[in-house]
Amino acid sequence: MKKVIDIEERIPTLRAKRRRRSNIKFILLTTIFGVILFLLLYFQSPYSDIKTIDVTGGSIGDATFYQEQSGLNVGESMWGFKEEDIEARILQQDWVKAATVKRKWLTTVSIQIEEWSKVAYIAKDNNFYPMLENGVILPLQDQLVPIDAPIFLEFDNEKVRKRLLKELAKLNKEVLAMISQIKATPTSTDPYAVTLFMNDGYEVRAEITTFASKLNHYPSFVAWIEKTEGYEKGIIDIEVGEYYRSYLKEYKQVEEAEDGQQGVEQNEEQSEE
């Protein structure tokens, strides 16, 4: 037989449940109100302002420059800007490869800059202009600029110049540091031919399309040459294959060729007479 529960017996239980629900609602509403109040006070207080703008990674432009480009200032609201808008503003600079803007803690904005690498200089009007791996020539000129990268000579073809800059960016740093000057030496059959003058006294003849893959082996190739008995400085040709010829043999062949050409011209003149 089922037990019949009197309603009066259930009243205390119902009251307790109702009280718990009321307490939960009260706590929830109090919490929401407290959060809203805290946010209102926070946004109206100096604690929501930018206290520090931390710029890292720049060398072409300094921290002050990038802060000015960002448009952010100490004392402005931490929440009054979009990160992507600041990044797009900084990326308008031709030498900036990437920009990352983040809010850090409650009062700091972090700006991380990645610039395109400087890989060469180009000589114009007795000045040296830095060139970046993306082909940009910086509008900086100074006769006393430290030469810490190769100098381009006679590179009027922009397409060829940009292609070579990309190859230079692929070089090992120690190999790049060994290059003093690069001269464009195109021919009717090969517009990408170049001649390199190395800091260790060698001359390298190369082809831009295979430039980095071959030139990265330059130190080992030179080490092999200098192990041979009676070696001399000379020309390393990596255009098609890889071979070496001393300056003495190279210029002797040139002189013989010039003498032969002069002999042919003299014979032609005599036959005409």
Q: What is the pLDDT of residues 1-55, one digit of tens each?
A: 455 555 555 666 766 777 777 778 888 888 888 888 877 777 777 888 999 999 9
Tens-digit pLDDT profile for residues 103-151: 998 899 999 999 999 899 988 877 888 899 999 998 865 555 556 789 9
pLDDT for 140: 66
Tens-digit pLDDT profile for residues 196-250: 999 999 999 999 999 999 999 999 999 999 888 778 899 999 998 888 999 888 7
pLDDT for 99: 97
Q: What is the DSSP letter of 137?
A: B
Q: Is a pLDDT exceeding 60 seen at residue 273? A: no
Tell me the pLDDT band of 174, cut-offs 50, 70 and 90. very high
Q: How far is 245 from 3, CA to CA, in rounded Å?
A: 113
Distance set, CA 69 to CA 92, 96, 114, 115, 134 (Å): 9, 12, 15, 15, 21
What H or E segment, with its residue span, contains residue 97? strand 96-104
Q: How far is 39 from 116, CA to CA, in rounded Å?
A: 41
pLDDT for 7: 58
Distance set, CA 212 to CA 175, 176, 177 (Å): 10, 10, 14
- Rounded mean pLDDT of 96-101? 96
pLDDT for 248: 86
> Domains, the chain, ranges and CATH?
49-115 (3.10.20.310), 118-252 (3.40.50.10960)
Q: Is a pLDDT exceeding 50 seen at residue 259? A: no
Q: How far is 168 from 157, CA to CA, in rounded Å?
A: 17
- Rounded mean pLDDT of 90-103? 96
Spatial neighbors of 250 by CB under 8 A, at least 6 apart, are 234, 235
Q: Is a pLDDT exceeding 50 seen at residue 263? A: no
Spatial neighbors of 134 by CB under 8 A, at least 6 apart, are 94, 97, 116, 162, 165
Tell me the pLDDT band of 264, cut-offs 50, 70 and 90. very low
**3 state SS of 161:** helix
